[in-house]
Amino acid sequence: MTVRLTNLIAPSFYSVYQDVKQHKYANYWLKGGRGSTKSSFVSLVIILGMMQDPEANAVVIRKVAATLRDSVFDQYLWAIDKLGVADYWASSTSPMQLTYLPTGQQIRFKGADKPQKIKSQKFRHGYTKFKHFEEISDFKGMEEIRNINQSLNRGGSGIVTFSSYNPPASQRNWVNEATEQQSLRSDTLVHSSDYRSVPKEWLGKEFIADAEQLKHDNEKAYQHEYLGEVTGTGAEVFDNLTIRVITQQERNNFESIYHGMDFGFTNDPTAYVDIAYEPNRRRILLINEIYQRRLMNNEATERIKQTGIGHGLISADAAEPNTIAELRRLGLNVVGAPKGKGSREFTYKWLQGLSEIVIDPVTCPNAAREFKGYEYERDGMDNLIENYPDGDDHTIDAVRYGMRRQMVKGGFVPWK
């Protein structure tokens, strides 16, 4: 029997399949909306990979074990049937696993709600070459994922990990933040897909009709559910953000650069930000940051001096006069940003009123995360509370302090 993979894999995954064959990446983060066939792709690749490598076994993981049977387990049975190899595989639901009969290789299905059943997976032959985190957004966070990986990444080389998921709407969700961090790794591919690249006959007329109806009725919901976009929840404080690399040519032409600093140590990080300001365009560009817990003042001073931007006045949190005094003794021109009643609200509104806040995610990853994830809180009735929450806003505070001279131009501004 001959099976053409182009009849099983959507065109958006052709290049990903070649990357897997060529062992180009160790980690594949596959995000997408409904009907993108990302989970189908992973199941096909793992079945084929195991049949081609007699040392390879796989572990497929969902957050809750009870969801395995009717979701990912059936998905792998589908892949076996579509590849025409059902005679070579045996299935079992207790324990839940698939066995490749010629060699005894196995695919085991585990729930992370029972972590003791994931640790130290021993196979009769071979090792865990493939891992599949299905709906990884259901997990608690990267610490939980790391713990599982540390248990499974033993006994062989060329281990490949697939993470498939629909991105949550909120940028504050851990998986959306982790996706951006993972995209910077050289051993990781972050791939996006949606139903529009899938042959219509695979999805059916009803699926297409439902998608088009939602697009007509609620385009934002359509973008999130069917296109897999991080659309936000409507609670975002800053809707004027642009996250992109700021080129060296742009950096060479900046005329006005300001510097802001927010203090922390044990629980909160010290945050320092360099900010380019273009008043004619009413925009700021965040070009460099220092962000670290337990950062000693002498170390902070050296790191700020080494950035090479040509530092002048640094506006910092006036609530720490002793820290400011020490930094001045160490050679930094630091002054406290004066505060008064209503200053917090004013400075946030000033930032919201800019035409654009541009943040370089490479040189300012924490600023990008904090600004994108900063949201109004909600009350018990799910209504927005229109005040500015305190917490995970350290670079935001540094920017508020750093831009204070521009904010007060044209008249008196109260400071809190």
Q: What angle do CA 226, 231, 232 make, to 5 degrees?
A: 140
CA distances from 102 to 2, 33, 98, 106, 122 (A): 20, 37, 12, 11, 19
Query: Rounded distance, CA 399 to CA 80, Å?
Result: 55
Entry field: residues in the chain: 416
Contact criterion met (CB below 8 Å) for 402 and 333? no
Burial class (CB in 10 A: 0-12, 13-18, 19+), 13: buried
Tell me the one-letter amino acid at 146.
Answer: R
Burial class (CB in 10 A: 0-12, 13-18, 19+), 17: middle
Q: Which residue has the tokens 């999130």?
A: 224
CA distances from 379 to 25, 191, 325 (A): 44, 36, 41
Annotated active-site positions, please?
A: 135
Query: Rounded distance, CA 99 to CA 305, Å?
Result: 60
Q: Which two tokens stand for residue 342?
A: 């209503």
Q: The dihedral of CA 231, 237, 238, 244: what is its sign?
A: negative
End-to-end CA separation in angstroms for the chain:
75
Strand-strand pairing, 377-378 and 384-385: antiparallel
